[in-house]
Structure 1
Amino acid sequence: MAPFITVKDVAREAGVSTATVSRVLNNTGPVGPETRTRIEAAIEQLGYHPNVVAQELVRGRSSVVGVLTQHNSTPFYGDILSGITDGLQGTAYQPLFAHGFWSSEKEHAALKLLISRRVDALIVLAGEIPDLDLLGLSERIPLVVVARVVKGLEKRCLRADNVQGGHLATRHLLDLGHRRIVHITGHLHSPLQLDAHDRLQGYRKALQEAGVDPRPEWVVEGDFTEASGHRAIVSLLQQEVQFSAVFAANDQMAYGARLALQQHGLQVPEAVSLVGYDDLTMSGYTLPPLTTVRQPAVKMGKAAARLVLSVLNKTRATLPAFTNELIVRQSTSKRPF
């Protein structure tokens, strides 16, 4: 096994002090050109590889961006994480992920862990941590927020217009002649769950514009999982609620809803039209392929990476506007009755 080469070995080979070698490695002080050349030649000759962790400690930075996500198995957040990774690729920074699982306590613990790793900045994806806590944290470390707006930190928050997205989905069903449109929402228990609240607002807005009175029984709360979409449809059918279309607040709940409809002999779209939200990769391959609202998750992740880099480099950044797009596939058709 080759011997472990140290700074002392380089200093001995170059005929200088270890402090001088450190100044060259860390670029922390002036070194004459001839001395620098000797040190660089010694490094190459000996095959010395600097201790990156030690270097970053000397420089006071880690070259790591901490990312607090909710759950990496959620496809939407997975796409955002892919965008963040792509956005940091080729730069001096690498992402370090921690998960909060939609729990304020676990999110605080995850942030504590990231900060203990001396991350240079943080990207926070949605979550339950109060605005005031995030605002206070932003005074200690550069912070960017995705899929949520923090009061007082609006210029560092990236989010698509979910009211517009909910309106798009519902308007599509209305244009097909549907009037009894069910909406399966995401979490509504927390005011911080803005995605669910905003998509519900867009749904109600579209119905009101069409002169349709939104009935309370048409709105069923889910939790963004396939199982909750399935439960919602089963509950509606058991209560004999009449409907010809379903707008689910994400694609995962739409998958569960479609299964429940099929199990009860209701074909999509012949009996019930179905719209999801997010345009996950799988949605183009379901039976039938799912009509959905495409939310630019990967672009949002890349934009978050660019924004955090601009904050770290103290350069000006413009917040991009994210546009949702209706993707029409075979899960919707004109009202059958």
Structure 2
Amino acid sequence: MAGVTLEQVALEARVSTATVSRIINGTGKVSARRKKQVMDAIEKLGYRPNLVAQSLARGQSMNVGVLTQDISSPYFSQMHKGIEQGFQGSGYHPIFVSEEWRDDQDHAALEVLLSRRVDALIVLGGYIEDDVLLKISRNTPMVVVGRLVPGLEKQCLQVNNHHGGLLATRHLLDLGHRHIAHIAGPDTHYDAVERMAGYMQALQEAGVPLNRQLVVEGQFSEEGGMRATEKLLKLGMPFTAIFACNDQSALGAQLVLQKKGFRIPQDISVVGYDDLSHSAFIYPPLTTVRQPGLKMGRAAAQCVLDLLSEKSPHLPAFHNELVVRESSGRAAGSEVIVPAETATLAVEAKPVQKRKRASKKDS
């Protein structure tokens, strides 16, 4: 039945409109008998409360803005799913707006969310300046995921990206690699900068000089990973392994290497970052650093609900994990140093650089 009013529900249930309103809004005490009368009437008539009017009356929109780096990113889609799960049954609904990797000084995406009068914000990484976020947080409850904002430490959910970069690079060093290329993410993004810092620290700890020519930006995408790998090969600088800043870049790197006739990992090892769902099903399956995106999304939603309830948010600890698969193997002629707790595939390899198929020209 279309256009059913509160008054019609009250008439059907033989109660006042004030009683119907209290039951719908969960305010005030109502007897179980009257509550059943009203709920039966609502079901019979097909009444749908005006959520917009209710939210305006409460001074709330019941919407939570989510500022994400890339709405189409497989990694962020895991986090988006976790956020949606975290808000289920709460009455709040997430609105997702993407930065699309823009270096936008006007912060248009953020302004879109604020113009919707959202009750809270979740910021997933990104490049927006700390002072901008801190200023907004004074009027809008905010949870930041993937970075630390000074002054908002109790509302920041983090995974140690620096440690993840260390894990990936140390793994390759333990396999005997000393010429390790790095496909970096955009230097405007905190997670990319921290992962590269972990890569650089691991080299330093191992006494391996950093070769800046082996660090190429890959834009966190498959296409970017392809372009970065093509650039590395054209430089002619020998390398036996690639640590890519995310799995998408790593997949692009593997595709170029295989097209050029390189064997993975016998000629060149590849390590990614994120552990996307399909990374275990490519060939060869990708060694990577796992991030708990789904759990982080759920936790971010719960932190927002705590803030909106004026509770102290609970900040769970999240950890990266190295997942070793067949895309990484030992460097040619090297002695493998395998940590006791890590199972690593050891493969015989030959010292080949820029090996081409005999029947094809290098493109």
**Do these two structures clear the TM 0.5 threshold for a shared fold by scoring above it?**
yes
Match of 1:130 in 2: 129
Question: 2: distance between equivalents of 1:245 and 1:44?
Answer: 64
- The 3-state SS of whatever aligns with 1:212 is coil
Residue 11 of structure 1 deviates from its aligned partner by: 4.9
Structure number with higher helix proportion:
1
- The 3-state SS of whatever aligns with 1:128 is coil
- The 3-state SS of whatever aligns with 1:98 is strand
Structure 1 residues 281 and 317 mapped into 2: Cα distance closer, same or farther (>3 Å)? same
Structure 1 residues 9 and 220 mapped into 2: Cα distance closer, same or farther (>3 Å)? same
Whether contact under 8 Å (1:229, 1:256) holds in the other structure is: yes
Q: 1:84 is aligned with what amino acid?
A: I
CA RMSD after TM alignment: 2.5
Question: 2: distance between equivalents of 1:74 and 1:197?
Answer: 19
Match of 2:237 in 1: 241
Match of 2:223 in 1: 227
TM-score by length of 1: 0.89
Question: 2: distance between equivalents of 1:45 and 1:246?
Answer: 64
Structure 1 residues 134 and 247 mapped into 2: Cα distance closer, same or farther (>3 Å)? same
User: Which residue, 291, 295, 299 being the options, matches 2:295?
Assistant: 299
Whether contact under 8 Å (2:246, 2:273) holds in the other structure is: yes
Whether contact under 8 Å (2:71, 2:97) holds in the other structure is: no
Q: Structure 1 residues 117-126 or 18-27, which shifts more? A: 18-27
Residue 172 of structure 1 deviates from its aligned partner by: 0.6
Match of 2:25 in 1: 26
User: Which residue, 321, 325, 332 being the options, matches 1:325?
Assistant: 321
Counting matched residue pairs gives 333
Match of 1:169 in 2: 168
Residue 3 of structure 1 deviates from its aligned partner by: 5.4
Q: Does 2:64 align with 1:65?
A: yes
Whether contact under 8 Å (2:125, 2:191) holds in the other structure is: no
Q: 1:260 is aligned with what amino acid?
A: V
Question: 2: distance between equivalents of 1:7 and 1:58?
Answer: 16
Residue 14 of structure 1 deviates from its aligned partner by: 6.5
1:176-224 deviations in Å (ceiling 9; x for gaps)? 1111111111112x2xx11111111111111111111111112112211
Q: 2:139 is aligned with what amino acid?
A: R
Question: 1: distance between equivalents of 2:159 and 2:44?
Answer: 54
Q: Structure 1 residues 8-17 or 235-244, which shifts more? A: 8-17
Q: Does 2:274 align with 1:278?
A: yes
Q: Structure 1 residues 41-50 or 283-292, which shifts more? A: 41-50
Question: 2: distance between equivalents of 1:181 and 1:199?
Answer: 14
Match of 1:145 in 2: 144
Whether contact under 8 Å (1:254, 1:274) holds in the other structure is: yes
Q: 2:151 is aligned with what amino acid?
A: G
Whether contact under 8 Å (1:229, 1:255) holds in the other structure is: yes
User: Which residue, 251, 254, 265 being the options, matches 2:250?
Assistant: 254
Question: 1: distance between equivalents of 2:106 and 2:82?
Answer: 21
Residue 263 of structure 1 deviates from its aligned partner by: 1.9
Q: 1:245 is aligned with what amino acid?
A: A
Q: Structure 1 residues 3-12 or 160-169, which shifts more? A: 3-12
Gaps spanning 5+ residues in structure 2: where?
Answer: 333-350, 352-363
- The 3-state SS of whatever aligns with 2:182 is strand
Whether contact under 8 Å (2:71, 2:100) holds in the other structure is: no
Question: 2: distance between equivalents of 1:271 and 1:44?
Answer: 67
Whether contact under 8 Å (2:155, 2:313) holds in the other structure is: no
Q: Structure 1 residues 212-221 or 287-296, which shifts more? A: 212-221
TM-score by length of 2: 0.83
Question: 1: distance between equivalents of 2:32 and 2:298?
Answer: 40
Structure 1 residues 34 and 206 mapped into 2: Cα distance closer, same or farther (>3 Å)? closer
Structure 1 residues 6 and 163 mapped into 2: Cα distance closer, same or farther (>3 Å)? same
Gaps spanning 5+ residues in structure 1: where?
Answer: none
Q: Kindly, what percent of the aligned residue pairs are identical?
A: 53
Whether contact under 8 Å (2:127, 2:190) holds in the other structure is: no
Q: Does 2:213 align with 1:208?
A: no
